[in-house]
C-alpha cells in the first residue's frame, strides 16, 4: 500500500496572492486560509461568511456616507448667506416654481433617487431660474390715450383706426 506524504504546511501571506491594483487583502482572509484546524469545507464557509459581512459593511458605509453628504448639502443651503437663513423659504419657493413648471416625473424621480436636488449648486441654479420666472411677468399696458409702448393686442391687431 502506498503512503501519501503530506507536504509541510506553508502559511499564506498577502504576497501569496496576485491582487487587482488598488485592492487590499482583508487580514481575516489570511487567518481563515491559514487556520489548520478548519477543514476545506469549513474554510470555504468562513470565506463565504466573510464575503457576506464585508459586502454588507461596504453597502452600509456607502449608504451612511451618502446620507451624511445629503445632510451636509441641506445644511449648507439652509445657512447660505444668499440662499439660506431668512431667504431659505423664498429659495424653496423659487425651486418649487421651476420644478412645477418644467420638471417631468422622470426629472423628479432622478432628483429623488440621486439626491441631486439637495446639491447646493443645483439649488442655487434652480433658484436663479425661479427668480426669472417671477420677474418675467406680463408687461404693463399703457392706458388708452397715454403715450408709451403699444399693447400686445395693438401690435397684433392694430390700434383700431380704420384707413379710409
Alpha-carbon distance 9 to 34, whole Å?
A: 9
In this structure, are 52 and 89 located in the same domain?
Answer: no
Q: Is residue 101 part of a domain?
A: yes
Q: Is residue 31 part of a domain?
A: yes
In this structure, are 65 and 101 located in the same domain?
Answer: no
Question: Do 94 and 130 form a contact (C-beta atoms < 8 A)?
Answer: yes
Q: Is residue 103 part of a domain?
A: yes
Alpha-carbon distance 124 to 110, whole Å?
A: 18
In this structure, are 96 and 129 located in the same domain?
Answer: yes
In this structure, are 108 and 128 located in the same domain?
Answer: yes
Question: Do 130 and 97 form a contact (C-beta atoms < 8 A)?
Answer: yes
Per-residue pLDDT of the chain (164 residues; tens, 9 = 90+): 556 667 888 888 888 889 899 988 899 999 998 999 999 999 999 999 999 999 999 999 999 999 999 999 999 999 999 999 999 999 999 999 999 999 999 999 999 999 999 999 999 999 999 999 876 555 555 555 555 555 555 554 555 555 44
Distances 40 to 10, 13, 28, 46, 107 between C-alpha atoms, Å: 15, 18, 16, 10, 52
At residue 103, the pLDDT reads: 95
In this structure, are 35 and 64 located in the same domain?
Answer: yes
Distances 68 to 76, 113, 153 between C-alpha atoms, Å: 12, 15, 55
In this structure, are 62 and 87 located in the same domain?
Answer: no
In this structure, are 131 and 85 located in the same domain?
Answer: yes
At residue 164, the pLDDT reads: 43
Domain count within the chain:
2
Among candidate residues 127, 116, 128, the one with its CA nearest the CA of residue 73: 116
Alpha-carbon distance 62 to 115, whole Å?
A: 14
Question: Do 149 and 142 form a contact (C-beta atoms < 8 A)?
Answer: yes
Q: Is residue 59 part of a domain?
A: yes
In this structure, are 31 and 67 located in the same domain?
Answer: yes
Q: Is residue 13 part of a domain?
A: no
Alpha-carbon distance 56 to 43, whole Å?
A: 20
In this structure, are 60 and 37 located in the same domain?
Answer: yes
In 3-state terms, what secondary structure has residue 101? helix
Q: Is residue 90 part of a domain?
A: yes
Structural domain of residue 59, as residue ranges? 24-72
Amino acid at each position: 500500500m502506498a503512503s501519501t506524504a503530506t507536504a509541510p504546511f506553508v502559511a499564506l501571506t498577502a504576497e501569496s496572492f496576485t491582487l487587482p491594483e488598488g485592492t487590499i487583502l482583508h487580514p481575516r482572509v489570511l487567518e481563515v486560509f491559514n487556520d489548520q484546524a478548519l477543514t476545506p469545507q469549513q474554510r470555504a464557509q468562513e470565506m463565504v461568511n466573510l464575503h457576506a459581512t464585508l459586502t454588507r459593511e461596504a453597502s452600509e458605509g456607502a449608504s451612511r456616507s451618502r446620507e451624511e453628504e445629503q445632510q451636509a448639502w441641506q445644511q449648507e443651503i439652509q445657512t447660505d448667506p444668499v440662499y439660506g437663513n431668512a431667504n431659505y423659504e423664498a429659495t424653496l419657493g423659487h425651486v418649487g416654481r421651476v420644478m412645477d413648471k418644467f420638471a417631468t416625473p422622470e426629472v423628479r424621480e432622478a432628483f429623488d433617487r440621486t439626491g441631486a436636488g439637495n446639491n447646493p449648486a443645483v439649488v442655487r441654479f434652480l433658484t436663479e431660474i425661479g427668480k426669472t420666472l417671477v420677474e418675467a411677468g406680463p408687461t404693463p399696458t399703457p392706458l388708452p390715450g397715454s403715450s408709451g409702448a403699444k399693447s400686445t393686442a395693438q401690435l397684433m391687431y392694430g390700434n383700431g383706426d380704420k384707413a379710409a
